[in-house]
Structure 1
Amino acid sequence: MPGTPGIGKSFFAVVLMSWLVKEQGVTTIVYESQDKRYLFMSEGTDLNVEQGDKTDFGYEIELPTTWWIVDMATATERAANTVLLASPDRTRYKGFLKLQAATTLSMPVWTDNEIEKCRLWQHPNLSASTVQTLVSKWGNIPRYVLEKASDPTAQSSLEDTLSTCRWDDILWCIGEPDTAPYSSHKLVHLELVGNSYTKKIMKLASPYVAREIEAKAGMHHTRLLQNLVQLSIGKPAYAAAAGLFFEMYAHRRLQAGGSFHVRKLNSFNTTQPKGSKPLALQRCDIHEFHKVEEVAQQVNHVYCVPQAHNFLAVDALMQPNILFQMTIAQKSSINLKGLHAAARQLSKKPPRIYFVVPDHLYGAFHFVAGIPQEIEQWVLKVSWM
């Protein structure tokens, strides 16, 4: 069971053992970590715990009723039900996958709600704003945003990793996550697709990380980004990173102002409406909001962006009636709850949602089903410079 370093795989072993005993009636568990083994045996309400080295409790591990939980160590074929907890480095578990009936389930990074609950219960000395600031850099990794929030050495390790990372390193981590260096997983996280725990993608840890990587690429960044967006068309594994890099590029272009080609979308016609004019934007001030309700207090032409990098439905808002959603692929749906919450903050009706896309997608982008008719749909082209 691989997962991004720092999300609590070792603690998951405790949760798993509790569930096995309470819900499944398991009476024998061997937990192994590094060079130690611990034998847990229960009988009724009595629990017996023994400590040994990595050669002990061999008899118990050969019993099919035993559960053997191996944390960052090596698991061989035994009769016990075996769970191997590992980092995303495939060299740590490729031998295990050769065993009969072995399968891989991946652990996700934490949700915002899980981070906040853990802060309240385990780290009440940390303010919500402090944790949110750390999340904006690290992503939702509890080791660094909670446990080691006040550890200067741990906090500086992100900058240390960024200082040695290049654009090509990020692409390697995304394309070959199973062979990426351990430290690189501070910058690129394993995230799940769907609810099966079997399909995963690699995503940049945060917009902060993406901005730092962009800055290192310097004047070549736009060309590199254009290549990455094209690469993502044929290789979906790169889509998440390409989407985040494009979103930040599009933010900068829109904030700077200018004239942008736009096209109104509807369910029966995707051609340019007669008399349609480019969208002219002036250079904008920026307002980062924590709660979307703050947008209602802003004046026209202030570019409002969410502080949280996982805000639902839209990526930016502008009074009096503009919503922006950046995308590098055709949308099939959108989060309606988030869309309605954003649209309610705008002072002019009807609200317009602009799907902001790169050159190659502009002509083919079409109407997104499910969006209420009272919200106009448009596509906006951001050209490469």
Structure 2
Amino acid sequence: RELYNKWGGIPRYVLFHALNPVQQSLLENAINLVDDKILNFVGEITDGNDGSSISHKLVHICTNVPEGEENEEDEFGVPSTSTAPTVTKSDKRKGVAGRYYERVPFYNKCILEFASDYVSEKAVDRLSRNYKYDLQNFVNTSEDMSEYSTLRGAIFERLAHQRLLRGGKFNVRPLFEDSKTRHTLQLDNNMGKLTFSDIKEIAPKMYCIPIQKNNASFDAIIPPNMFFQMTVAKSHPIIKSGLEKYIERIDQDDDIKFYFVLPKEIYHTYKEQALYTTKRTVVQNKPAWFSRFKQYALELNLKL
């Protein structure tokens, strides 16, 4: 299961070569050789010894599958080996605008995805160190390329975590009012990062990132009342059930602040989002805390 979470389900390495340290080292070798070619999925990265292609170990070609098949795949998983948040299946295609609303025939799309969250974290960290301009340019220019939408969303999420952790001022726009007034959000500089799998582990004044697979409601939280959802999609419904146990810890006199972290091109036009059930239907009976639930758009400058 640990290998599955690293390799993303390639049987050759998860099963057949599970106990072969030479074969297992190929994934780290591939990550260490990541360059800007992966952003276009052209050319091949080779190991320098036998010339064999290993780019497919990092980026997989997938399709849109029925909900039941996604659930079956998730059941196999265990908490991620990554120190960054696991991108769940419902979030993973956050680059696809309006996934909750659109009705596209199954097996009809070609989608590029990182092999796993482990690969995504390591590869983006390397790219942001060595290919800053190329990485930024990819996120800014691949909006209309549907096959790259998932890859773009995963990269944007990793970059957003890096940027928010550094702190500073960010432009924000209340989605619950038609205000022309400019607002800013000030985050502490160089916050400490904490990854957690249980709500009891979160700590005040820390940038807390969930690692469990079933958290589809937010990508980060600064306790007690600031939630962050990264997305490059033009809509991203909010899953109510994933928020409630965190909201219970917030003082009833305090607002619940939910920030959509967005690239510049959709920041000014982003709309307030609906609350959804886990069955992907709009919540009809609003919870008692709904009047305190305030949504904001946060503009992310991708300059690394």
Is the TM value for this pair above 0.5?
A: yes
Gaps of 5+ in 1: 1-130, 175-180
Q: Describe the superposition over 1:46-101 as per-residue Cα deviations: whole angstroms up to 9, x where unpaired.
A: xxxxxxxxxxxxxxxxxxxxxxxxxxxxxxxxxxxxxxxxxxxxxxxxxxxxxxxx
Equivalent-residue separation in structure 2 for 1:346 and 1:182 (angstroms) = 51
Q: 1:262 to 1:200 in 2, by over 3 A?
A: same
Q: 1:309 to 1:153 in 2, by over 3 A?
A: farther
Match for residue 360 of structure 1?
Answer: 265
How many Å apart are 1:144 and its aligned residue?
3.5
Question: Within 5 A, what are the aligned runs for 1:68-79?
Answer: none
Matches within 5 A, 1:168-247: 168-172=37-41, 183-195=54-66, 196-217=106-127, 221-247=131-157
Contact 2:31 2:122 (C-alpha < 8 Å) held by counterparts: yes
Mapping of residues 109-124 of structure 1, within 5 Å: none
Equivalent of 1:151, from 13, 20, 23? 20
Shift of 1:361: 1.9
Larger Rg: 1
- For residues 137 and 210 of structure 1, the distance between their equivalents in structure 2, rounded to whole angstroms, comes to 10
What does the per-residue CA deviation read over 1:212-250, in whole Å, with 9 as the maximum and x for residues that have no partner?
Answer: 433544556342233222332211211111111111111
- In structure 2, what is the equivalent of residue 65 of structure 1? none
Distance across 2 between alignment mates of 1:194 and 1:281: 39
Instruction: Give the structure 2 partner of residue 253 of structure 1.
Output: 163
**Shift of residue 136, structure 1, vs aligned partner:** 4.7
Residue ranges of structure 2 left out of the alignment (5+ in a row): 44-51, 67-105, 277-285
1:138 is matched with 7
SS at match of 1:303: strand
- 1:166-191 per-residue CA deviation (whole Å, 9 max, x = no partner) reads 222342269xxxxxx86322111233
Partner Cα separation in structure 2 for residue 271 and residue 147 of structure 1: 59
Instruction: Tell me the distance in 1 between the aligned counterparts of 2:264 and 2:56.
Output: 32
- The 1:288/1:150 distance shift into structure 2, 3 A limit, reads farther
- The residue number in structure 1 matching 2:298 is 380
CA distance in 1, matches of 2:130, 2:29: 23
Q: Is the 8 A contact 2:39 2:135 kept in 1?
A: no
* 2:166 is the alignment partner of 1:166: no
Q: Between 320-329 and 199-208, report the one with greater CA deviation.
A: 199-208
- Supply the distance in 2 between the matched residues of 1:310 and 1:304 (Cα, whole angstroms): 16
**SS of alignment partner, residue 286 of structure 1:** strand
TM-score (norm 1): 0.55
Distance 2:213 2:58 in 1: 15
Is the partner of 2:270 in helix, strand or coil?
coil
After superposition, the Cα gap between the structure-2 partners of 1:361 and 1:226, relative to the gap in structure 1 and judged at 3 Å, is: farther
Q: Distance in 2 between matches of 1:380 and 1:235?
A: 24
Please say if residues 343 and 351 of structure 1, whose CA atoms lie closer than 8 Å, have aligned partners that are also in contact: yes
Measure the CA separation in 1 of the matches of 2:250 and 2:116.
28
What amino acid does structure 2 have at the position aligned with 1:208?
Y
Q: 1:278 matched to which residue of 2? A: 184
CA contact (8 A) 2:218 2:227 kept: yes
Shift of 1:358: 1.7
The answer on 1:340 being equivalent to 2:244 is yes
1:325 to 2:229 alignment: yes
TM-align CA RMSD: 2.9
- Contact (CA 8 Å) 2:159, 2:302: kept in 1 or not? no
Q: Is the CA contact (8 Å cut-off) linking 2:257 and 2:295 kept in structure 1? A: yes
Partner amino acid, structure 2, of 1:250: A
The residue that corresponds to 2:195 in the other structure is: 288
Decide which moves more: 188-197 or 143-152. 143-152
Q: Note the alpha carbon deviations across 1:278-305, whole angstroms, 9 max, x for none.
A: 11111321111123x23xx533211111
- Distance in 2 of aligned mates of 1:192 and 1:336: 27
User: What amino acid does structure 1 have at the position aligned with 2:162?
Assistant: R
After TM superposition, list the pairs within 5 Å mapping 1:19-98 onto structure 2.
Answer: none
Where do 4+ consecutive residues of structure 1 move more than 6 Å? none
Residues 133-168 of structure 1 show CA distances to partners (whole Å, capped at 9, x for unaligned) of x45532344554455443212211112323444222
Determine which structure has greater relative contact order: mean sequence separation of CA pairs < 8 Å that are 6+ residues apart, divided by chain length: 2
d(CA) in 1 for partners of 2:160, 2:62? 24
Which residue in 1 is equivalent to 2:102? none
The verdict on how the C-alpha distance between 1:368 and 1:301 changes in structure 2, with shifts beyond 3 A counting, is same
Distance across 2 between alignment mates of 1:218 and 1:376: 32
Give the letter for the 2:142 counterpart. Answer: S
Does the 8 Å CA contact 2:196/2:202 hold for their aligned counterparts? no
TM-score (norm 2): 0.68
What are the superposed Cα offsets for residues 335-364 of structure 1, whole Å, 9 maximum, x if unpaired? 333233554455664321100012222111
